[in-house]
Each structure stands twice: as C-alpha cells, then as structure tokens.
Amino acid sequence: MTVKVLLIGNGAREHSIAEAVRNSPQNPSLFSYIKSNNPGIRSLSKHSEIGEYDDLAKVTNFANQVKPDFCVIGPEAPLDLGVVDSLARVGIPSIGPTKELAKLETSKSFTRLLMEKYNIPGLPEFKVFTSMDGVKEFLYSLDSFVVKPDGLTGGKGVKVHGEHLEGTEDALKYCEEVLKTHPSVIVEERLEGEEFSLQSFTDGKFVL
C-alpha cells in the first residue's frame, strides 16, 4: 500500500521537505496544503490545496479527503494555531508539536518562565512586561540587553543592544512599538557566545 503524506506549508523549507518525501525509496504520494502558490511544491504533489493556515476547518476537511498516513507541518504559524490538535481529533498523526507544546517556540515569555520555574540552566536575567511600567528601570540595571516581542515575528523581531539598538532610549522606543502589536515584551540580559540551534525528533519517550 502506498504511503500518503500531507505537507502543510509553502516556503523553501517545505519545498526541501517535499523533495525529501518524493525521493524516499518508499515512493510515497505527496499532498500539500499551501498558503500561497509554490510551483515547486505543487509540481511534486499529487494534489495541492491553497488556503489560510487559520482556517482549521478547511485544513481538516482537506486532510479527511486525502486520508494521509501522517502530516508534516513546516511553519510555526499553523502549529501556533493548533493544526496538530485539529488533525489529531480526526485521527491523523502529525510530525509537529501540539499548540500547547509549540509555545516553547511561539512564546518567548512562556519558555523563559518555564526555565525559571524548573531552574533550567542557561537562563539570563529577564523580565516580561505587558506595559511600559518598570521597563526603563530594568534596562538601566543591565550592562547590555536584548528586546524580544512575545510571539511569532518571522525571525525579525529580536533587537540586540549594540547591533540594532544604540542605547536605552532606542530600547524604550522599541518596547513601546512592540507593545502596540504584541501582548508583552521580554527584556533580558545579552548573553555572549556562539548562537546555535539543536533539534531532535521524539515521540514523547524516545529521542532520535
């Protein structure tokens, strides 16, 4: 029986995933749900559906028509919206975290507060602000700082002192700007060192 894979996402990352799926020796059938037209992904898919990520009913209906063995979600936005939860309710497993678990990626305040609660090493000095009250005082208490909007920003929201922000006044203006469009802003001490990402696959018990 041919394996069916449903891919959600339409960026370069998802195009690479689509190519990897199609190059599998198992020769699976690929279906895709994309936010906007991507000729590369569509050419690799048996069928593509174009729709918004927040239209969970449409995503689920398309998945029910395809009846995939599993779904692969590339972008953070559908994960934040709960697409894994919606698919699970109709019996379709996904490679991707539930909405609650995705908060580790989608909410910087959630992750910092979780690290604080369980004393996880590597936590910088930080505070989460929902208004400008106390922001100036905390900024002045830090030698160097980073300002982060709480939520998804497409990798363009974090501003670093000395690189994007010249000083405290710049940081204050940016915090005000962030709070106009985000529920909260995180101000934390700047950490020195090499930035890296570590990713793994897990079923909740084992890590690959």
CATH 3.40.50.20 for domain 4-102 = yes
Q: pLDDT value at position 169?
A: 96
For the chain, list the strands marked E by DSSP.
4-8, 29-34, 47-50, 70-73, 94-95, 126-129, 145-149, 159-160, 185-189
**Six token digits for residue 36:** 């906007």
Q: Which CATH class is domain 107-189?
A: alpha beta
**Cβ(14)–Cβ(75) below 8 Å:** yes
Torsion of CA 39, 199, 53, 1, to 10 degrees: 70
Q: What is the pLDDT of residue 153?
A: 85
Backbone angles phi, psi at 115, to 5 degrees: -60, -40
Q: What is the pTM of this model?
A: 0.86
List where CATH 3.40.50.20 sits in the chain: 4-102
Structure tokens at 8: 């959600």
Q: What is the pLDDT at residue 91?
A: 97
How many other C-beta atoms are found inside a 10 Å radius of the C-beta of residue 15?
20
Chain Cα centroid distance, residue 144 = 26
Per-residue tokens: 7: 């891919």
Nearest CA among 71, 204, 184 for reference residue 132:
184
Number of H helices, E strands in the chain: 9, 9
pLDDT at 4: 97
Both tokens of 163, joined, read 């690189």
**Burial degree of 198 (CB within 10 A; 0-12, 13-18, 19+):** exposed
pLDDT of residue 73: 97
Vertex 100: Cα angle to 96 and 104 (nearest 5): 75
CATH 3.30.1490.20 domain extents, the chain: 107-189
pLDDT averaged over 10-residue windows placed end to end, the chain, 208 residues: 94 96 95 96 97 96 97 95 97 95 93 96 96 97 96 87 94 97 96 87 84
Closest residue by Cα to residue 191 from 136, 156, 145, 147: 145
